[in-house]
A = this chain, B = another copy of it.
Amino acid sequence: MAVRVGVIGAGIMGADHARILSGSVAGAELVAVSDPDEARRKAVASAFGVERTYSDALDLIGDSGVDAVIIASPDPTHKPYALACLDAGKPVLCEKPLATSPADCLDLVRREVGIGRRLIQVGFMRRFDPGYVAMKTALDSGDLGAALIFHCVHRNKQEIGYTTSEGLIANSAVHEIDIARWLLEDEPSRAIVVAPKSSKLASVRDPQILILEMASGPVVEVEVFINAQYGYDVRGELVCERGTVALEPRSDMIVRREGFEGVRHGTDWRGRFADAYRLELQAWIDALGVGGAAGASAWDGYAATAVATAAVEALTSGAPTDIRMEPKPAFYS
């Protein structure tokens, strides 16, 4: 009765999804994995007891023993694989971004609307992070009054090889863009980017401050800093009319050692969002079981990419940039 899942991509993210799905999610069975790289493919298959492996993702999608698909392959492949899943009528959890341009995202949105059934979930896992969920619960309770400002900090230990100045927004801050839309249930209407002088340890414009004015009035302020050196650190504080709520560091332990008392930060996002990834996969499987959908939709995938694209323009031009989005299909309401 378990949902039989195939994972496309056996890199870091794909292997992680395979591990979590097979070891920590109820109601699912990992049955197939694909990757053009044989060694990676076999490593994941052997680690998690997967029998069917494919070099071509389209073969995995076409496998009649696969009920649902996770796409964790390189960004440019997301669109064609997601389309193939739609064509096959199979539910798909697609790692962000849904596609690399707003137009490509819209193609997927339109195809899904045409099918008339939600098959796509975009992997914005933070929506399942207990911290953000607690924040949203607090806001939705009404106890805090209206949301006014959402301060965010998104810091990575250090940049990786192929980073660009635009990538700070398109790859990193895009998480805050999605979580702000979800939390505030509102769309950004204008983006401002202020870039301080860059760290001497960065090869790109780093850090940056992104400001989003939401249509109904609140303002989102995001610091992105990918060479923060001290560790991976994501914070958020939602300032409301009658109080504020903020994320905790989510450490397991307080250490007193060598003059210090405090918590330790990890070096990447997988530790910080381990719960979020697990709960995202569980929610996806649970929703499949009842023919429903969970998490970020194809529309959310489009919106995040559209906002990020406008914000990159604001970075490049140095001027406040209006954000234009297509009208939202009634299908997603």
Residues of A within 8 A of B (CB): 2, 21-26, 28, 130-131, 133-135, 138, 144-146, 148-149, 151, 192, 194-201, 207, 209, 211, 213, 216-219, 221, 223, 225, 227-231, 233, 239, 241-265, 267, 282, 286
Contacts and interface: CB of A to CB of B under 8 A. Distances in A.
A261 B263 CA distance: 5
B24 A282 contact: yes
A243 B265 contact: no
Contacts of A239: 207, 223, 225, 228
Given A230-B257, A233-B261, A134 B219 contact: no
Contact of A255 (B145, B149, B243, B257): B243
B264 A259 contact: yes
Copy number in this complex? Answer: 4
28 contacts: A2-B2, A21-B26, A23-B282, A23-B286, A26-B26, A26-B28, A135-B253, A144-B257, A145-B201, A146-B200, A195-B219, A196-B219, A209-B221, A221-B221, A228-B239, A228-B243, A229-B243, A230-B256, A231-B259, A243-B255, A243-B257, A244-B255, A245-B254, A255-B262, A259-B267, A260-B260, A261-B264, A262-B262
Nearest to A216: B197
A133 B179 CA distance: 31
Main secondary structure of the interface of A (DSSP, over half): mixed
A266 to B, nearest CB: 8
B254 A260 contact: no
Given A148-B196, A209-B219, A243 B263 contact: no
